Amino acid sequence: MTERRSAPAMKATTRLSHGVTKHVASPDRVPMIVFGDGLKGKKVATPLKKQLPGPSNLVFKNLEERQSQGRLLVVSIWEFNTSKRCCICHDKLKPFYIDGSKIYGLLRCDLCRVVLDRDTSAASNMFAIARHYFDHRHRLLAFCPLPRPPSPEF
Mean pLDDT, residues 37-57 taken together: 59
Overall average pLDDT of the 85-113 stretch: 95
State the Cα–Cα distance between residues 13 and 16, nearest whole angstrom: 5
Assign 86 a pLDDT band (cuts: 50, 70, 90): very high
Q: Does residue 3 fall inside a structural domain?
A: no
94-98 and 114-117 beta bridge pairing: unpaired
pTM for the predicted model, two decimal places:
0.67
- How many domains does the structure of the chain reveal? 1
Is residue 85 one of the residues assigned to a domain?
A: yes
DSSP 108-138: EETTTTEEEEHHHHHHHHHHHHHHHHHHHSS
Helix locations, the chain, DSSP H: 7-24, 55-68, 118-136
Q: First CA to last CA across the chain, in angstroms? A: 54
Residue 21 lies in a domain: no
Question: Is the separation of the CB atoms in 105 and 117 below 8 Å?
Answer: yes
Residues in CB range of 2: below 8 A, 6 or more apart: 47, 50, 51, 52, 53
What is the pLDDT averaged over residues 54-72? Answer: 80
Share of the chain above pLDDT 70, in %: 69
Question: Which range of residues forms the domain containing residue 83?
Answer: 32-39+55-143
Q: Identify whether 139 is part of a domain.
A: yes
For residue 107, the model assigns a pLDDT of 96
How sure is the predictor about 2, in pLDDT bands with cuts at 50, 70 and 90? very low
65 lies in some domain: yes
Q: What is the pLDDT of residues 24-43, one digit of tens each?
A: 556 677 888 887 776 566 55
Answer whether residue 49 shows pLDDT above 90. no
Residue 105 falls inside a structural domain: yes
Sort 92 into a burial class: Cβ within 10 Å, 0-12 / 13-18 / 19+: middle
- Residue 83 belongs to some domain of the structure: yes
Q: What's the chain's average pLDDT? A: 78
pLDDT band at 1 (very low <50, low <70, confident <90, very high): very low
Confidence of residue 3 (pLDDT cuts 50, 70, 90): very low
12 domain-assigned = no
Whole-angstrom distance, CA of residue 46 vs CA of residue 55: 12
